[in-house]
């Protein structure tokens, strides 16, 4: 029996059509797109086509607004650092507490360099307070960077509205849309978003290629200077094969957009309902009414996530966890902590993320596999006794250290 892959927010299988499209660019059409001769010229035309496919997926007005990069992280760094470089008189960045480390670590670094960083808090469902956000929009803010969808819970932020608010205040708005692109329809030309980051490998393209969308007219300072590639906005020889793959992946993502929001969503809902119907003391984290169609993040109380993953892995099911142990840190996921999920549950969160390749059979298998694993681990837990948590867990088990 093949293994079940429910970790598509981490990375995805490369689409077969995508692989076929990129292969000739390793051996037959290996030219440098900057070259004048026919070897290079062919590649240049293929890149143009890929750029237009991405433009279409994002609903961008011009294909020159698409800049290919090496990954989502590079796009994030380029966007935020560009905004600061281009507006040296502005020293403040606004972001959220639940961003991906690609943005959060950079912002922490900027704070240590003397910039002011406002991290918008979230409520228990992972939602932002827009009145609070509005109160922070002043002339010192160089850029607002807010993720479109959260990678752990799938919760969607109202980035289009937030971008409008920033734009009206004359502030650049960047969104890390790595998890959203390909899963939710995006129409940038009718938005006020100035910059957007995406990553190829989250939408069935290979790893090592990303995109920065840069609205025409947005002041920009490149991160990498050198050759004239990407109109001088991202120097370095193009990763031609992967960019071409990215283009095809973008086309395929548009084709599957409806499937993602109907069939994938149905399977996700079935998985969630199936598990929650049988496993007590478990709940969905984030905002269930406003999230990506493919993501289910479930907290299993009184047990630890890594242990769950190891046992799932043993029966051929791949998922991921926000537990401290899976990352090697001592704190559980910053996203769970930000939502004020109690430690007894935060360590036991498991993220199931589906894709267009997920089948009904696979979901049935996972629904059957999860309850006994949770029961097995609870049997070992000092917070669990018989068929429920011990009475007053905080008192019944009070460790000496800690």
Partner 1 sequence: MWDYSEKVKEHFYNPKNAGAVDGANAIGDVGSLSCGDALRLTLKVDPETDVILDAGFQTFGCGSAIASSSALTEMVKGLTLDDALKISNQDIADFLDGLPPEKMHCSVMGREALQAAVANYRGEELEDDHEEGALICKCFAIDEVMVRDTIRANKLSTVEDVTNYTKAGGGCSACHEGIERVLTEELAARGEVFVAAPTKAKKKKAAPVVAAEPAPAPVTEAPVAPPKMSNLQRIRRIETVLAAIRPTLQRDNGDVELIDVDGKNIYVKLTGACTGCQMASMTLGGIQQRLIEELGEFVKVIPVSAAAHAQMEV
- Residue 352 beta carbon to partner 1: minimum distance, rounded to whole angstroms: 17
- Residue 283 beta carbon to partner 1: minimum distance, rounded to whole angstroms: 18
101 sits in which H/E element: helix 101-112
> Of the residues 169, 315, 325, 367, which is catalytic?
325
Please tell me the distance from the alpha carbon of residue 186 to that of residue 300, in angstroms, as a whole number.
33
- Residue 123 beta carbon to partner 1: minimum distance, rounded to whole angstroms: 21
Place of tokens 């989502």: 72
Q: Which of 198, 237, 263 is nearest to 55 (CA)?
A: 198
Question: Quick one: 53 or 285, whose CB is closer to partner 1?
Answer: 285
Question: Quick one: 331 or 360, whose CB is closer to partner 1?
Answer: 331
Q: Where are the alpha helices (DSSP H) in 169-239?
A: none
366 in Cβ contact with 352 (< 8 Å): yes
Question: Quick one: 63 or 306, whose CB is closer to partner 1?
Answer: 306
Question: Quick one: 276 or 325, whose CB is closer to partner 1?
Answer: 325
C-alpha 242: how far from chain center: 20
List % helix, strand, coil for the chain (3-state, nearest 5). Answer: 45, 15, 40
Tokens (6 digits) for 374: 């949770």
107 a catalytic residue: no
- Residue 302 beta carbon to partner 1: minimum distance, rounded to whole angstroms: 7
Question: Quick one: 200 or 389, whose CB is closer to partner 1?
Answer: 389
Q: Where are the alpha helices (DSSP H) in 177-296?
A: 240-255, 257-259, 265-278
Question: Quick one: 46 or 309, whose CB is closer to partner 1?
Answer: 309
Phi and psi (nearest 5°) for 398?
-120, 95
186 in Cβ contact with 180 (< 8 Å): yes
C-alpha 141: how far from chain center: 24
Pairing of strands 295-300, 282-284: antiparallel
7 in Cβ contact with 230 (< 8 Å): no
- Residue 299 beta carbon to partner 1: minimum distance, rounded to whole angstroms: 13
- Residue 211 beta carbon to partner 1: minimum distance, rounded to whole angstroms: 29
Binding footprint of partner 1 on the chain (CB under 8 A) = 302-307, 309-311, 313-314, 323-326, 328-332, 343-344, 347, 379-383, 397-402
The set of catalytic residues is: 325
């Amino acid at each position: 029996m093949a293994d079940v892959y429910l970790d598509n927010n981490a990375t995805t299988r490369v689409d077969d059509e995508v692989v076929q499209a990129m292969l000739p660019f390793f051996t037959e059409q290996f030219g440098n797109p900057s070259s004048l001769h026919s070897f290079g010229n062919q590649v240049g035309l293929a890149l143009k086509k890929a750029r237009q496919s991405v433009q279409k997926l994002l609903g961008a007005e011009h294909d020159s607004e698409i800049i290919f990069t090496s990954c989502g992280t590079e796009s994030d760094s380029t966007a935020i650092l560009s905004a600061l470089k281009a507006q040296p008189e502005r020293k403040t960045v606004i972001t959220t507490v639940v961003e991906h480390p690609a943005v959060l670590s950079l912002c922490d670094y900027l704070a240590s360099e003397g910039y002011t960083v406002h991290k918008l808090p979230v409520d228990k469902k992972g939602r932002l307070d827009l009145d609070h956000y509005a109160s922070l929009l002043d002339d010192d803010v160089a850029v607002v960077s807010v993720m479109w969808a959260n990678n752990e819970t799938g919760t969607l932020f109202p980035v289009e509205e937030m971008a409008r608010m920033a734009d009206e205040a004359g502030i650049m708005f960047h969104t890390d849309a790595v998890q959203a692109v390909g899963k939710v329809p995006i129409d940038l030309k009718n938005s006020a978003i100035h910059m957007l980051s995406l990553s190829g490998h989250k939408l069935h393209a290979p790893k090592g290629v990303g995109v920065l969308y840069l609205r025409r007219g947005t002041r920009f300072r490149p991160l990498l200077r050198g050759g004239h590639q990407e109109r001088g906005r991202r120097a370095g020889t193009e990763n031609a094969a992967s960019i071409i793959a990215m283009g095809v992946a973008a086309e395929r993502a548009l084709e599957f957009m409806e499937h993602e929001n109907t069939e994938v969503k149905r399977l996700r809902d079935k998985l969630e309902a199936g598990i929650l119907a049988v496993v007590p003391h478990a709940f969905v984290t984030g905002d269930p009414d406003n999230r990506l169609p493919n993501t289910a993040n479930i907290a299993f109380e009184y047990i630890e996530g890594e242990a769950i993953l190891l046992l799932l892995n043993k029966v051929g099911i791949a998922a991921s966890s926000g537990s401290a142990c899976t990352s090697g840190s001592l704190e559980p996921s910053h996203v769970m902590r930000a939502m004020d999920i109690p430690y007894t549950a935060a360590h036991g969160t498991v993220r199931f993320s589906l894709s267009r390749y997920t089948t009904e059979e696979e979901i049935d298998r996972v629904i059957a596999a999860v309850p006994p694993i949770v029961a097995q681990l609870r049997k070992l837990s000092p917070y669990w006794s018989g068929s429920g948590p011990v009475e007053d867990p905080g008192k019944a088990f009070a460790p000496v250290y800690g």
